[in-house]
Structure 1
Amino acid sequence: MKYILGIDDGGSVTKAALYAMDGTLIAARPGDNVPLRSSGGGCTERDMEALWSSNVTAIRRVLSAAGAEGRDVAAVSATGHGNGLYLVDANGRPTCDAIISTDERAEALIERWVADPRFARDILPRTAQSLWAGQPPALLAWLKAHRPEALVKARWALLASGFVRMRLTGRPTANLSDASGTSLFNVRERRYDPAILDYYGIGDLEGLLPPVVGSAEQAGTVTEAAARETGLSAGTPVAGGVFDIASSALASGLVEKNRLAIVTGTWSINEYVSSAPVIDRDLFMTSIYPTPDSWLITEGSPTSAGVFEWFINNILDPAARLAGAAAPERRDLYASVDRLVFDPETEAGRVPVFLPFVFGTSKYPTLRGMLSGLEASTALPRILRAVYEGIAFSHLDHIRRLERFQELPGEAVFTGGVANSPQWTQMFSDAMQRPLQVVEVKEAGTLGTSMAAAAMIGEYSGIAEAAKEMSPGYEEFTPDPSKAALYADRYGAWNEALQKEAGRHAAE
């Protein structure tokens, strides 16, 4: 039996999964944890060699779990978090730590670029997306000004999936959908644009940008060296792959135009497929979708399930250690938190307001996370409830912005970390008063990018057919109309706090 291997390098976890040609999941395994490093000043980085080692581990684990060998893998495809910066030499070896897309060090550059009238007039019509500090142009410009030594030995400026592909194939590439979300790319003309690079002051760094390949095009084949490390067979074809936000949408079967998809990962991703690009200063992103004549219209920010992980890692786990207790297993912890959050007494009480901008947000560049409305009676269950609600309201805020551009249907496709909690998923449905079709897929990122590989080797006529045939079914959550007023009031309080803080920051 032949399989497709999908790899997903998110902002925190590496996963590998094997699929049958019809999309049936055979096995999925994680790599080793690669912790983020923060040196202050908004920096978020990680060790790239440790990341590659995590990929090797994940690949070997999933082959073992499936009882498969390298020769059983017909093709490989990788996805990963968009943006950030992975600088490597000509051999694909890191020249410095990877910079993650939640990095904030270059915010001053963003403010200057966006304030310049030329941005709205000349640059936005080409890139079709907002700028934020974790994108390659800001990071390259910041390194050029503050750490030029980091660029001296660099030959290629890659993205996360591009780094993995280069270590697999020895060839530098960026897939078209990934490249189109970097603010380096002219999305209409589908090419790097020197005028854009010159605007950022990095025209001299154009040579660092890798060649662009289509998602279902062959980016190379597994090298002998990579085969020895991973257990794959040398010569196995590797697809261009898919931008992670598009990969999750494909795994949801999203090929129809103007259908809403919600992805709850490190980022709050809310998107629909359009037959034409949307150019608007207030829109987060228009990128190129892998299906024919399609554009992915996206509103997003790093304010989703990843913020809950931040809360666990920085508050709950340290509190447990302070009390002399061992941190519980994640699965047990999630279940315990759900019990506290969805206790009727917790839901009915006065819940604080939580703005989940601990990693920032492109819409309000200087805004950060905030917990307000604490009282003497406020205990941990209601703080946890505020975190859950704040994340849901951030998604709702993004969706309302999307609805300015396109009338969207009542229901939405729903995937990501939140979907692992039926109660939290129901909260989303109740808060939005929208039916949610929860896709029955454990690893949306690996499945979506595997569709590109299946199309590459001719198993399907293209990615659109692969998405239709390989996508799983879904479970529908319907909103409780009796909760509409409750969440309307709480979202109103949340939005009022957001606008107040945004106004205060704008005045400073």
Structure 2
Amino acid sequence: MKYLLGVDFGGSSSKATLLGEDGRVYATASHEYPTYYPHNGWAEQDPRDSYDALCKNVREILRVSHVAPQEIAALALDAATHTAVLLGADDQPVRRAIYWTDARAARQTQRLREEMGEEIIRECYNSVSSLWTLPQLIWLRENEPETLRRTRRLLAVKDYVRYRLTGDFVTDSIEAMGFLLLDARVNRWSERLCGLAGISTAVLPPIEDPMTLLSPLTGQACEDTGLAPSTAVIVGATDTAMEVYAAGAIRPGQATVKLATAGRICPITDHAVVDPRLVTYRHVVSGLWYPGTATKSCAASNRWYRDTFGGSFEEMSRAAAEVERGCEGLFFHPYLQGEITPYLDDKLRASFVGAAGFHTRAHFNRAVLEGVAYSMKDCFETLAELGIAPAEAIAIGGGAKNALWRQILADMLNIPLRVVENVDSSLGSAMLAGVATGVFSSHEDAVSRCVRTVEDTVPVPEGVAGYAEGFRVYQEIQRALAPIYHRL
């Protein structure tokens, strides 16, 4: 038996998955690390915590699985995009990494939009927002110039961890798009955009295919992790790319619908779809893309509601299931942090509208679920307008485990939603490592062995009709309240 190891670095923890060549998951491990909030709107992480988490996860995997290090054929890493690690001449981080949720670069973002917005989207295939690395680097140039003067290498989190494992200073063609420093038309770093950021293209890593084999693990890496020098290491890709891959979405027309902290709909296309309302990335399958829409506060809305008003997710869902579809006129708009698709408006606010004396806590429980689904419907309508809305999708993310929420969303979008057994991005990384090293003969072989359907949720006609009318009201409320949100 050959085994494959995938390791993901998320917002609060790292997860590792040990996958067998038979397509079964044999062990998982997770280790948390902190996110620092030194000022209002700031979010930072120490990249050294990610390396430490990897080492602990790998050792835990080896301990619980009883798999010998020599049996692990290959390793791949993934992580969230837009989080740049800056290294000095000594290869040590010169500061904590600015995490992608950080909003300190709002002013720089606005200036970029006004001065170069159309040019950037033509070149980078994505519009400017504060989550991208380019405006963050401009903030550093204007507020911490010494930080950039000391920087000799700039790389993404997973690339930093892998650099410590193999000594290879590289990134992949998907991750590179997340910096907003790449001319996506030719897949090369843009001299002009790097100049705006106050850096040279020389500090950026060479760009490789995600399945490229790299150097062997160093002696120090083997000592730190317990892995054998024979374990191959590949370049890997981003967390969303690997999550889409783990779901089995590897052909045009397929799609994922994600109910996680943020909500996303990612159809698979055979061409880049460039629109300011989308976030567009290459797929790991050559020639494919996944242009995604996004709502900022998806499961985050549900968690905020629980934390603010008490109870558990299970209790909230059971009570919500007893309430009629439409919540008897109660609407929730989930703009806790503004909104992305289709409004691109950081000033929108969340609200409950239509509350009456007969509404109970259960009505509010369901209104939150429906409100997020309405926001996902806004995302879906954007895709429909662009001609790339999917006819069916794979439901992923923690929220997809909630049968009621899944049914609401299937009715809202009027498409079937399929649930598969495991869609963690660390599984996708392990699958990709298997294809890159020949353990799996192709992407199709990896998906056929590793992806298993658990159940399907199909739209109910009365639900489709009811939510179609509700969506019109939802949009009317949004249009009416947007000017008021802007004054708050």
Aligned to 2:27: 27
Name which of 440, 458, 462 aligns with 1:460.
440
SS of corresponding position for 1:130: coil
Counterpart contact for 1:361–1:367, Cα < 8 Å:
no
Give TM-score scaled by structure 1 length. 0.87
Letter in 1 for 2:193: I
Letter in 1 for 2:458: T
Counterpart contact for 1:4–1:454, Cα < 8 Å:
yes
Check if 1:496 corresponds to 2:461: no
Q: 1:279, CA displacement in angstroms? A: 2.3
Aligned to 1:396: 377
Letter in 1 for 2:452: P
Aligned to 2:416: 435
Letter in 1 for 2:346: T
Name which of 261, 275, 286 aligns with 1:266.
261
Aligned to 1:481: 461
Partners of 2:11 and 2:214 lie apart in 1 by 23
Q: 1:349, CA displacement in angstroms? A: 4.2
Q: Larger deviation: 224-233 or 15-24?
A: 224-233
Kindly provide the CA deviation profile for residues 408-454 of structure 1, in whole angstroms up to 9, marking residues without a partner as x: 4422121111122222212211222211011221x431121222211
Q: CA RMSD in A?
A: 2.7
Aligned to 1:128: 125
Give TM-score scaled by structure 2 length. 0.90
Check if 1:12 corresponds to 2:12: yes
Counterpart contact for 1:57–1:230, Cα < 8 Å:
yes
Counterpart contact for 1:8–1:15, Cα < 8 Å:
yes
Check if 1:354 corresponds to 2:354: no
Aligned to 1:191: 188
Counterpart contact for 1:353–1:493, Cα < 8 Å:
no
Letter in 2 for 1:358: Q
Counterpart contact for 1:367–1:501, Cα < 8 Å:
no
Letter in 1 for 2:446: A
Output aligned runs, 1:213-362, within 5 Å. Answer: 213-280=208-275, 282-312=276-306, 315=308, 333-344=312-323, 348-358=327-337, 361=340
Counterpart contact for 1:85–1:139, Cα < 8 Å:
no
Partners of 2:146 and 2:252 lie apart in 1 by 46
Counterpart contact for 2:338–2:347, Cα < 8 Å:
no
Q: 1:375, CA displacement in angstroms? A: 5.1
Change (3 A) 1:220 1:423: farther
Q: 1:377, CA displacement in angstroms? A: 5.7
Counterpart contact for 2:73–2:231, Cα < 8 Å:
yes
Change (3 A) 1:99 1:219: farther
Kindly provide the CA deviation profile for residues 94-123 of structure 1, in whole angstroms up to 9, marking residues without a partner as x: 32222221111112222221222x431x32
Aligned to 1:169: 166
SS of corresponding position for 2:214: strand
Letter in 2 for 1:397: D
Kindly provide the CA deviation profile for residues 258-312 of structure 1, in whole angstroms up to 9, marking residues without a partner as x: 22321223332211222221223x3322222111222222212432224434555
Aligned to 2:365: 384
Q: 1:12, CA displacement in angstroms? A: 2.6
Letter in 1 for 2:248: G
Counterpart contact for 1:69–1:231, Cα < 8 Å:
no
Change (3 A) 1:24 1:286: same
Change (3 A) 1:389 1:96: farther
Aligned to 1:323: none
Partners of 1:154 and 1:197 lie apart in 2 by 13
Partners of 2:72 and 2:141 lie apart in 1 by 41
Q: 1:455, CA displacement in angstroms? A: 1.7
SS of corresponding position for 1:270: strand
Partners of 2:348 and 2:45 lie apart in 1 by 22
SS of corresponding position for 1:180: helix
Output aligned runs, 1:10-159, within 5 Å. Answer: 10-32=10-32, 34-89=33-88, 92-116=91-115, 118-120=116-118, 122-159=119-156
Unaligned stretches of 5+ residues in structure 2? none
Change (3 A) 1:274 1:375: same
Kindly provide the CA deviation profile for residues 474-496 of structure 1, in whole angstroms up to 9, marking residues without a partner as x: 42101122222432344333323
Name which of 386, 403, 410 aligns with 1:405.
386
Q: 1:11, CA displacement in angstroms? A: 1.9
Q: 1:21, CA displacement in angstroms? A: 1.9
Unaligned stretches of 5+ residues in structure 1? 321-332
Q: What percent identity do the matched residue pairs reach?
A: 24
Letter in 1 for 2:274: I
Counterpart contact for 1:95–1:150, Cα < 8 Å:
yes
Letter in 2 for 1:428: L
Kindly provide the CA deviation profile for residues 366-424 of structure 1, in whole angstroms up to 9, marking residues without a partner as x: 22441232556655433333332232222221121111222444221211111222222
Letter in 1 for 2:428: G
Q: Larger deviation: 72-81 or 335-344?
A: 335-344
